[in-house]
Amino acid sequence: MIALLMRDLKLAFRAGGGFGLGLAFFLIVTIMVPFSVGPQSDLLSKIAPGVLWLGALLACLLSLDRLLALDWEDGSLDLLATAPLPLESTVTIKSLAHWLTTGLPLVLAAPVLGVLLNLPAAGYLWLVVSLVLGTPALSVIGTFGAALTVGLKRGGLLLSLLVLPLYVPTLIFGAEVARRGAIGMETQTPLMMLAGITAASIALLPFASAAVLRVNLR
């Protein structure tokens, strides 16, 4: 499992679809928002949690089409499906590799980019907490979407259409945690909902992704 994780990490960096691309997109979104709404500090402070969460979500989405496509193209996916390691474990490792190369860098960059959006000081901690809890769900859900569309020509658009509706609950509760934390409100309810979504995704979706892959590989 460790060897597979290291392999996927190397592929993510070499293919250019992980660390650098996601961060660059996140930075562009954050920079463009102040230009679009104008230099209104109060308005930027109000929308900062939602904008940062939306930027992180779209940055995660950007690299999903390469998550399983490389293994499909070179035949590695067939070998992984017949390996002693259960396909559910393989899918979980791939989700972890995606989070390490895309989700984790976004979590670390979010507080820095929050300065550009005049995020209130009280919101930084809750922004990081919400992203740490929520971005694993984005990777796991994205892996499920990638499994559904693997092998399809021009499947990137279809992948986005399939995954974006599934991302909505995570976006709602993640942004709500950051928003409430920024204005000093109670965050327990949206935080527990966000944690529940992530836990349910990690527990159930690897089995669904593995089942879909088995169907596609027949």
Per-residue confidence (pLDDT) for residue 15, from 0 to 100: 56
Any idea how long the chain is?
218
pLDDT in tens, 151-194: 776 667 788 888 999 999 999 999 999 999 999 899 999 999 99
Most confident of 18-27, 66-75, 115-124, 199-208: 199-208
- Per-domain residue ranges of the chain: 2-216
Least confident of 60-64, 107-111, 143-147: 60-64
From the number of C-beta atoms within 10 Å of its C-beta (0-12, 13-18, 19+), residue 16 rates as: exposed
CA–CA separation, 215 and 77 (whole Å): 13
What is the pLDDT at residue 157? 78
Query: Any long-range contacts for 191-196 (C-beta under 8 Å, 24+ apart)?
Result: 191/129, 191/130, 191/133, 193/169, 194/130, 194/133, 194/134, 194/137, 194/170, 195/133
> How do residues 106-140 score in pLDDT, each as one tens digit?
999 999 999 888 899 989 999 999 999 999 999 99
Distance CA 178, CA 184 (A): 10
Percent of the chain with pLDDT over 90: 45
The pTM of the full predicted model, rounded to 2 decimals, is 0.89
Report residue 16's pLDDT band, with 50, 70 and 90 as the boundaries.
low
What's the CA gap between 70 and 202, in Å, rounded? 23
pLDDT at 155: 64
Per mean pLDDT, which of 2-11, 75-84, 205-214 is the most reliable?
Answer: 205-214
